[in-house]
Amino acid sequence: MGDADGRLGWVGGKIQFQRAESEKSLTHYNVYWHSAAGQGDLVGKVPTNGFSRPQCEVDCHLLDISVSGTTYTFHRGAYDNEELAKIHFSGPALMTITSFRTEKYYDFLEVGDRQLSGTKLALPMNIKLPSGLHTITWSSDRSEVEEGWTFHLTQTGTTADFEVPSMQPPSMELQVVAAFEETEGAAAAYGTLKDFDASVMAPSPALVARNLSFIDENVQEKLIKGRIQFFPPSMGADAVTFYHVYFADVDGIAQWTEYSWTLEAPKTAKEMLQIDLDLELPSAAVSIVAVSGNAHGEGAKTWIPLRDIVRSARANASFSGDSDPVANQVRGDLTIVPAPVPTGITSYSLYLGNGTKKDELLGQIPPSFEDISFSFHIRLESYQRSLIIVSAYDDFEMEEGVIVEFEDLVDDSTFFLLGTRSGRSLSEERSEPVEPWLRQPEMGWDERQLLWTEAPLATRQTKSGHAQAPHLMSSLLLPLAHGQSPAPSAELRRALRLALAEVLQVSLEQTSLTQGERLRCGQATAKVMGKSSRLQQPDERSCLLVNFHVMPDAQKALHPKLTQDFLDRIEAKVIRLHQGSTRKLDASLKHHLETLAPGTGAAMISEPQQMAPKERHRTGRGLAISKEEGVVLTTEEREETSEEPGYILVAVSIGAFLGALTVLVAARRGAFGVAKRSTATGEPDAVDPVTPADVSVQLSEGQQ
């Protein structure tokens, strides 16, 4: 890195070397003097830090991978089904996604705890990864594909530094060897030192200005204001007599004499040098350069980007009004008018506010050049009566923004009816919270305790107004630990939705919890399971009963067949859960509720019910078999189902028909795989898989 000792025959300063591809099996590096005679004395040791360059496994041949310096580029174009690739590496690192189109909810790039999917990511997207080992996983499912993705991965910490103390060296060459405890590797890296003589030379590369910085404080475009700051080099500063600072173009050339400054070098390395700026930025200026110099010329040079920081608050925002009649709960739509100068904005941060002060972050909304609509449903504290929307940048979030005041509308007479905006405002009449879990913590469990109600997501606009879109309804029963009374927080509801979505293999957005209540387990079990119960003493415990909806992906819901196939698959899964195959559900609930409601018991699921528009409404359905496509089970689902008796239900619904229905099923040997019960054991015989085309359903002439 250059000799920092200006005396002839003496050297001192920093050496730098590339770390090994992977330090997994290393503990340190040994630094030796080296000469023609071989390895000399040990100079010192450098510890490892767990560094690992990106390594790919599984379907790596499918990816286009290139390297430029410390930046790796990974690209997968139009991909196929059932792909899997894992990229392992160490941080700190910056992942920058520049293109992204995958099948929403099913094909993912997983980065830590983030799952990226779909076609509407705000690009480019930057993800900062801290120190430690990381894995990026790419996976696609077995149907539908998209155009693929591209991301760049830039690592820091790829090199290691070692400080050589000022000395008269035995040679001018150094040797670095990787080692594990007392064992050294066979290969070594070599480097040659160069002696710097301040009496005849311009400053060496070691005598560069330290910590050069500038932050633009003028948020208007093309205007900059702030202070250029830097320090002399930590060693050999007396060999520098001045510093030349200037604006440079893309080629590093100083084109503007009016933007060039010369500063006398300070007497010590601890004194800061600074230049105050308040000017119009030259259009071609892209960097600030600082050069160390002495009587023999200019030498060591360092530079930083010259960034014109443009900050912009929201132009405007409006709130539709509260449509939740429950006190301390607000539902509505927020419309955001984008910032007038959107350059550099990575998101819009939405806060609940206490007046003009940010209080609780509700979410971060991707930027857009058009008006943005954001729907939310939240619980409030009594002092939270405003929404604050601010612009957020990679390294900064504005304090000023748009403040939207709102009222929490309450209508006690329509507690269960959501969607109305009538009623009294809490600003008109403030009373004790109406939530029963806050008002009556000591209540007995002879009565039910309503925890929350929500409007279902499965609604759609029709010519006659709002109507239910096709969806599936069921209930989840969860026994609580003795004395447990979890608050019905947004975190609890999200955890329950995550568990259901995970087991039913749908997205979080496809689930909604329409009502939650707490009541005696005996009463709850009767509602969900009838007289049967998996609880030995249900009356001594309380249970959480949650009604939930599952609806198709909005993009597929426009196609009736895709919608019906989806509902049939989900119905089949819920039927298996109702019949007791809840091993995966119990494990998922335990994981997601670990901190919110520990010690919960085994879950129960009620029989599902499909809900469709009135003209297509079907009830009382069993496990359905689509004529074109049967129910596809995963390996784990087949293992769970194998514990239950084998059977197949075929249901045919005839609307408005009040007479008897005669169903003749043509069954031929080997065609319909009907389970036959053994008279000796009472157990079903093995059955062959059912082929949908082999099922024949006939109606008599009068029933058609």
3-state secondary structure 636-689: HHHHHHCCCCCCCCCCCCCCCCCCCCCCEECCCCCCCCCCCECCCCCCECCCCC
- Which of 199-208, 303-312, 476-485 is least confident? 476-485
The predicted-structure confidence for 248-276, as pLDDT tens digits, reads as follows 999 999 989 899 999 999 988 889 999 99
Q: Which residue has the higher pLDDT, 486 or 656?
A: 486
Give pTM, 2 decimals: 0.47
Residue at token pair 């160390």: 292
Q: Decide if pLDDT at 222 tops 60.
A: yes
Higher pLDDT, 140 or 371: 140
Burial (CB count within 10 angstroms: exposed 0-12, middle 13-18, buried 19+), residue 464: exposed
Indicate if the pLDDT at residue 693 is higher than 60.
Answer: no
pLDDT of residue 247: 96
Answer whether residue 582 shows pLDDT above 80. Answer: yes
- Beta strand 173-180 with 183-192 is antiparallel
CB 611 within 8 A of CB 617: yes
Phi, psi at 55, each rounded to 5°: -130, 135
- With contact defined as beta carbons under 8 Å apart, do 174 and 188 qualify? no
Among 127-141, 279-293, 570-584, the least confident range = 570-584
124 upstream amide cis, omega within 30 of 0: yes
Coil/strand/helix, residue 272: coil
User: Average pLDDT of 148-157?
Assistant: 94
- Residue 108: CB atoms within 10 A of its CB come to 19
Residue 309 pLDDT exceeds 70: yes
Question: Greater confidence, 589 or 643?
Answer: 589
The CATH architecture that domain 316-425 belongs to is Sandwich (2.60)
Query: For the range 314-321, what are the long-range contacts, defined as Cβ-Cβ under 8 Å and sequence gap of 24 or more?
Result: 314/338, 314/339, 314/348, 314/389, 314/390, 314/391, 314/401, 314/402, 315/339, 315/340, 315/402, 316/402, 317/387, 317/389, 317/402, 317/404, 318/404, 319/387, 319/404, 319/406, 321/406, 321/407, 321/409, 321/421
CATH node for 11-50+159-192: 2.60.40
Low-confidence winner among 96-110, 130-144, 476-490, 678-692 (lowest mean pLDDT): 678-692
Separation between Cα atoms, residue 110 and residue 112, nearest integer Å: 6
Topology at the third CATH level for domain 55-155? Jelly Rolls (2.60.120)
Cα gap 448→161, rounded to integer Å: 67
One-letter identity of residue 688: D
Taking residues 339-365, report their average pLDDT: 82
Dist. CA 155–CA 21, nearest whole Å: 12
What is the number of other CB atoms lying within 10 angstroms of the CB of residue 224? 21
For residue 341, pLDDT over 80 is answered with: no
Asked if the model's pLDDT at residue 647 lies above 70, the reply is no
Average pLDDT over residues 81-109: 93
Mean pLDDT is highest, among 59-73, 373-387, 415-429, 595-609, for: 59-73
Say which residue, 680 or 528, is predicted with more confidence.
Answer: 528
Report, as an integer, the average pLDDT of 79-91: 95
| Spans of all domains in the chain | 11-50+159-192, 55-155, 210-305, 316-425, 446-459+466-624, 645-704
Largest CA distance in the chain: 114
From 338, 29, 35, 344, select the one nearest 161 (Cα to Cα).
29
CATH of 210-305, one of 3.40.50.10800, 3.40.50.150, 2.60.40.150, 2.60.40.3950: 2.60.40.150
Task: Provide the pLDDT for residue 234.
Answer: 85
Flag whether pLDDT at 465 surpasses 70: no
On the question of a cis peptide bond just before residue 340, with omega within 30 degrees of 0, the verdict is no
Percent of the chain at pLDDT > 90 equals 35
Q: Do domains 210-305 and 316-425 have the same CATH topology?
A: yes
Provide the pLDDT for residue 558.
58
